[in-house]
């Protein structure tokens, strides 16, 4: 079986930066920015829209504070400390009640399995 790898394969120890996408709900049609809630934020938020299709689909991909390294286990790292007040607790509860979820995006390479006879 032939395996076709992306041109930029990651090696052990390479950084794997995690990006975040919009908050979306199956119950409502209104998406929100991931950082509209008080999640841990990087010093500078960078929009990472990679192509027009993602923009048209409404993806809102941004950098995050989360970073891993390929094939290096990590456990229980603290990203930041956030103290919620009554207002932010209410905002989180409302989003949870409305079925909002978020998606983390990694820079993992895609690969495809193909028939070697093709």
Rounded to whole angstroms, how far apart are CA atoms 22 and 17? 17
Is 98 inside any structural domain? yes
- 45-99: per-residue pLDDT in tens? 998 867 777 777 778 889 999 888 888 998 888 999 999 999 999 999 999 999 9
Q: Say which residue the tokens 């120890």 belong to.
A: 13
Domain count of the fold of the chain: 1
Which candidate, 45, 40, 38, 85, places its Cα nearest to that of 62? 45
Is 4 inside any structural domain? no
Which candidate, 44, 82, 49, places its Cα nearest to that of 64? 44
Is 49 inside any structural domain? yes
Structural domain range at position 23: 11-109
pTM: 0.72
Is 3 inside any structural domain? no
Is 69 inside any structural domain? yes
Is 115 inside any structural domain? no
Is 54 inside any structural domain? yes
Is pLDDT larger for residue 45 or for residue 17? 45
């Amino acid at each position: 079986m032939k395996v076709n790898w992306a041109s930029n394969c990651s090696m052990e120890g390479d950084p794997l930066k995690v990006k975040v996408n919009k908050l979306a709900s199956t119950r409502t049609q209104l998406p929100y920015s991931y950082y509209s809630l008080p999640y841990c934020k990087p010093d500078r938020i960078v929009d990472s829209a990679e192509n027009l299709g993602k923009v048209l689909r409404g993806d809102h991909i941004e950098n995050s504070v989360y970073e891993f390294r390929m094939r290096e286990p990590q456990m229980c790292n603290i990203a930041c400390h956030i103290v919620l007040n009554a207002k932010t607790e209410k905002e989180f509860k409302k989003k949870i009640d409305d079925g909002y979820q978020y998606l983390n995006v990694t820079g993992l390479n895609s690969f495809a399995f193909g028939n070697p006879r093709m």
